[in-house]
Structure 1
Amino acid sequence: MKKIVSIGLLLASGIFPLLAQPSSEKATLSVISKAEYTPVKNQAATGTCWSFSTTSLVESQTIKNGLGEVDLSEMFTVRNIYTEKAKNYILRQGTAQFGPGGLGHDVIRAMATYGAVPESIYSGLPLGQKTHDHNKMDAQLKTYLDSLLKIRPIPADWMKGFQSILDDHLGKAPETFTYNEKPYTPKTFATEVLHFKPEDYVNITSFSHHPFYTSFILEAPDNFANGSYYNLPLDEMIKLTEHAVERGYSIMWDADVSNGCFKQNDGYALLWKGGKAPATISPEDEELKYDQQLRQSLYENLTTQDDHLMHLVGLEKSASGKKFFLVKNSWGDRGPFKGFIHVSQAYFAINTVSLVVPKAAIEKSLLTKLGIQ
């Protein structure tokens, strides 16, 4: 997520909407299929899109499983992952990345390890604060860790100081709480209310520098936990995504958005020729042809990076038959579609970095091919 914090700051400050933007024609997309989803949220001035997007996926999957709608705390997971990052940073003596970024598998692992809590129990907002702003917290955490690395030996209780900073900015995390008049711990809430199982989610990507139908550790700066992803040919990754949404499932989508083709304020992302949106945007605009080779070259020359993670919830088509994905963002209700953006298949093909997919959405033949039980 190389630029998402700066985007969050622009959004929070109100500067971003004042920038010159192309206009959009009235949407002419028809819905093929749409998953159920929870309301749009705003990550504001944070780099925690990975938690908002994947938490939204888990919320949708909870609805899909017939368990009802639950509003989950993104910041409970953020706190736990920051703690993991701190331990990793210290043990690697400052050579690892420490920052707000993360990937979808971090949320799945965090919920499996630490559990989950409702937003009403842990909002991560200090008293009187209405929107998230982690700029001071991120700086203080990094400064604290770097100061420790100048000491040998490092104090055995160094984590107390780290947790104190988190407490100041996010509030103390609950060890027990009451939800719908029943007592829970975060772990019992995850298992008993959400019926959460980490094995119910599969990490997917598509890059040709590793063998297809095998797994590999995705080379991305925010993959501090060395998460592995199953590697599919591009056409199969697209087919998997379409097939999942057609069956009423949703997907966590990790993509490059810091380019001239992702226009949240206009509601569309297309692979326009020249890499820039026209003055007037239409779903029928001509796009570049895509293939595995172009996708790979843009990844290897560092054009395509994991800027931002979102929640893919629908499949659509234009009047001419072009396919689009409906994507729920976490920048509040920005744009003509109130926080959603229509992403063309071509844009998706070139700019996708990774996916988190419910295992139940994947065809059994493909699971067998990947060696997933």
Structure 2
Amino acid sequence: MKNNSLLFVLVFTSFFSFSQTYEFETTIDLEATDVISQGSTGTCWSFSASSFLESEVMRLTGKQIDLSEMYTVRHTYSKKAWNYVMRQGKIQFSQGGLGHDVINSVSEYGVVPNDVYSGLKEGEKRHNHSKMADSLKTILKAYLDDSKTYASDWKNDIEQTLDYYLGDDVKSFMFEGERYTPQSFLKMTKLNPKDYITITSFTHEPFYTNFVLNIPDNFSNGDFYNVTLDDMVTVANHALKSGYTIELDCDVSEKTFSSKHGLAIVPATDNANALLNVSPEKDITADYRQQEFENFNTTDDHLMHITGMLKDQKGTTYYKVKNSWGKNGLRNDGYIYMSEAYFRLKTISIMIHKDALPNAIKTKLVLN
């Protein structure tokens, strides 16, 4: 009887120890604006990078400014359309993009507050770009099908379509009693587009060099700095510990990425309760990461904004990731707690301020 009782205690204790619900302790929590929704659009790239820049403005000036995502989207669509036509339709034309597209737009066109350029018509409360995207594609297809008989100027037709759906371009505006242009407003925010770099980690290119990563949404042929997987994690951790937030491009197609549960993990085994109870995770190697990228299990589905770090009761590190799917009905008020294992496996790239690089890694890179 004693032996049976002891066995029951051991089994119960073992079961309980592996069935603990998640308990998180925040270790780093950097300033960020409120979680908002990108609506029915594929513009997470602008929402994530705009949120990242809003945190940068807070870090640089102490001001909390809601930047316009759609001002950037509008100008980036013009660039996409030109690129699509000049490549004779042999590339993707979609709502997607990457963080550096926002930086490119900021550099050329400046920034404006969201209340100056919301991208919403009067009475609208939610972004929906399906009709606009279809209209833009129709114009581009008609021109490419027969440019000689196209009845008008396709570039002007694109601009008029963007004006109709998103609003006319902004030349000047008032903010806190002063008049600004988008470029003078950029100067006021103290943002310098040249200060931001994109870091990645893939084995098909030499480490500590920069290269154009061939993924569908990199229509602008942006450069990525390639570092080892361990160094990419080191860069992220050092940036957050030094007070810098991070823009994140990653894959969110896994069943264990859940906005409902506010969690992203890589369980070691197929575990139906992994999103509810703390579970061991896979050891993510550079080779496994590369394999998942090359077989398209890891793609550039979604961009978000890392604003802090946490740990669970077992000491596992997580990143506090601000999403752009709103927060109604979602755990963690729309944030995702992403384990380091998920970050290592599913991150395509991170964008940071170059001063957030650890010195030991900065010396290995030749920054432009």
TM over 0.5: yes
Aligned 1:24-103 pairs, distance under 5 A: 27-103=22-98
Instruction: From the superposition, tell whether residues 365 and 197 of structure 1 become closer, same or farther in structure 2 (CA, over 3 Å).
Output: same
Counterpart in the other structure of 2:294:
300
Distance 1:155 1:252 in 2: 42
- 2:194 matched to 1:188? no
The answer to whether the 8 Å contact 2:24/2:311 transfers is yes
2:310 to 308, 313, 316: 316
**Equivalent of residue 211 in structure 1, options 206, 213, 216:** 206
Compute the displacement of 1:25 (Å): 7.3
Spell out, residue by residue over 1:281-340, the C-alpha distance to the aligned partner (whole angstroms, 9 max, x if none).
13x311111110000000011110000000001111112110000000000004111110
SS in 2 for 1:178: strand
CA separation of 1:240/1:152 partners in 2, compared to 1, >3 Å: closer, same or farther? same
Matches within 5 A, 1:110-149: 110-149=105-144
Q: Larger radius of gyration, structure 1 or 2?
A: 2
Q: Deviations over 1:193-217 (max 9, x none)?
A: 2112112111100000000000010
Distance 2:43 2:253 in 1: 16
1:286 aligns with 2:280: yes
CA contact (8 A) 1:328 1:339 kept: yes
Q: Identity of counterpart residues, as a percentage?
A: 42
**Contact 1:260–1:275 (8 Å) recurs in 2:** no
- Choose the corresponding residue for 2:362, options 360, 363, 367: 367
How far does residue 365 in structure 1 lie from its aligned partner after superposition? 3.0
| Equivalent in the alignment of 1:333 | 327
Q: Is the 8 A contact 1:312 1:327 kept in 2?
A: yes
Find the residue that maps to 1:152 and give its secondary structure: coil
Contact 2:45 2:98 in 1 (8 A): yes
Tell me which amino acid in the other structure corresponds to 1:345. Answer: E
- Correspondences of 1:159-308 after superposition (within 5 Å): 159-191=155-187, 193-274=188-269, 277-278=272-273, 281-282=276-277, 284-308=278-302
Alignment gaps of 5+ in structure 1: 1-23
Once residues 172 and 269 of structure 2 are traced to their aligned partners in structure 1, the CA distance between those partners, rounded to angstroms, is: 54
Please state how far the C-alpha of 1:134 moved relative to its aligned partner: 0.5
In structure 2, relative to structure 1, the CA distance for the partners of 1:276 and 1:185 (3 Å cut) is farther
Output the aligned Cα RMSD: 1.6
SS in 1 for 2:284: coil
1:279 Cα offset (Å): 6.4
Query: What does residue 17 of structure 1 align with?
Result: none
Q: Which runs of 5+ in 2 are unaligned?
A: 1-18
Instruction: Report the CA distance between 1:239 and its aligned residue.
Output: 0.9
Partner Cα separation in structure 1 for residue 349 and residue 271 of structure 2: 23
How far off its partner does 1:277 sit? 4.9
Normalised by the size of structure 1, how large is the TM-score?
A: 0.90
**What amino acid sits opposite 1:256 in the alignment?**
D
Letter in 1 for 2:285: D
Q: Distance in 1 between matches of 2:183 and 2:273?
A: 49
Residues 1:55 and 1:156: Cα distance change in structure 2 (over 3 Å): same
Deviation at 1:276, TM superposition (A): 6.2
